[in-house]
Amino acid sequence: MVLTGPAQAEGLRIAFWNVEMVRKGPGLLARDLLRGGDPALPGAVETIAALEADVLVLGGFDFDAGGLALSALNQHLPRPYPHLLPLRPNTGIPTGHDLDGNGRRDEARDAQGFGTFPGQGGMAILSRLPVVTEQSRDFSDFLWRDLPGADLPPLPDGAAEVLRLSTTGHHDTALTLPDGRALHLLTWHGTTPAFDGPEDRNGRRNRDETRFWSLLMDGALPYDPPGAPFVLAGQANTDPEKGEGDPAAIRALLADPRLQSPLSGDTVDYGGKVGPLRVSYILPSADLTVLDAGVIPAPEGARHRPIWVELALPRP
């Protein structure tokens, strides 16, 4: 397989890819990667190498507290990353409530984010830039009900007091630039706006998960707005023009003058009636200079295409 990667340029290359390395139980991904027996591993390694990213955000990657799966993947890369950050997700964390109303409280649909175990389908960052822990923030425990204009569906009594906004997570990870300043990497992976009923729980949540970033930049949340320069990267799981879901929130981000949208076109092909959609995004802050951007092919058997943006290193 021959991949066409991003052109060589002096700058900072940031990439996002929903790698879909998800297993049915905890620790299974780490086991498979440590043994090197995952059939998707060769294609994933070749694709990550072709991206040549300085900072790579992975979606759809099982979390384990020791970071064993991420370390194992990194060890297979021809040029391993010095800084690894597995991001603990909300997926699979019990809420104690019967959110889907089927009479049971301990199923995947009753968790903070859909998941058969805590950590299923999380996110991770591989970086050649050091992480500044004291300047990084995790918004993933923010309650959905506390979002201004929150569009909550009908919920069981008491559920709104514990239900978080983030299906997977909302994170602000500070990375150290060569000049010593921080670049803030804002990441999230919204729920799919489908697979629910007339209550539209997933559709409403998907929209509000994306709205979180607009409200954060507006200073309308109990957090300081992100400091420039910053890059918003992740999977909104909504196409601005087609497919299921309400596109209003992602359209607002794409039109926001505080952000740039250097990429366009489909990033996944779900096949069947759904087909190709644009669901993954990298949106640099307006103060950054974009040198180039693109999408590379997914490896054989994968649905999501990695996306990348090349940025000029910001001047002090």
Is the Cβ–Cβ distance between 137 and 86 less than 8 Å? no
DSSP 8-state class, residue 57: E
The CA distance from 302 to 306, in Å, is 10
The CA distance from 244 to 250, in Å, is 13
The CA distance from 105 to 157, in Å, is 13
Residue 314: what pLDDT?
Answer: 64
pLDDT tens profile 191-219? 999 878 788 899 999 999 999 999 999 99
CA atoms lying within 13 Å on the CB side of residue 282? 28
Is the Cβ–Cβ distance between 186 and 235 less than 8 Å? no
N- to C-terminal Cα separation, the chain: 41
CA-to-CA separations, 213 to 61, 81, 167, 186, 258, in angstroms, rounded: 22, 28, 15, 9, 11
Tokens linked to 301: 């058997």
- Radius of gyration (Cα) for the chain, nearest Å? 19
Residue 8: what pLDDT?
Answer: 41
Q: Which amino acid is at 150?
A: A
DSSP lists the bridge partners of residue 17 as: 58
Strand, helix or coil at 303? coil
The CA distance from 244 to 121, in Å, is 21
The pTM score is 0.94
* Phi and psi torsions of 90, nearest 5°: -85, -10
Residue 313: what pLDDT?
Answer: 81
Strand 276-277 versus strand 122-127 pairing type: unpaired
Report the sign of the C-alpha dihedral through residues 117, 212, 223, 175, in that order. positive
Residue 245: what pLDDT?
Answer: 87
Residue 6: what pLDDT?
Answer: 45
Is the Cβ–Cβ distance between 163 and 109 less than 8 Å? no
Low-confidence ranges of the chain (pLDDT < 70): 1-10, 314-316
Tokens linked to 300: 């054989």
Residue 253 CB contacts under 8 Å (≥ 6 apart), including other chains: 210, 213, 214, 232, 236, 259, 281, 283
Residue 315: what pLDDT?
Answer: 64
Q: How many beta carbons lie within 10 A of that of residue 255, not counting itself?
A: 10
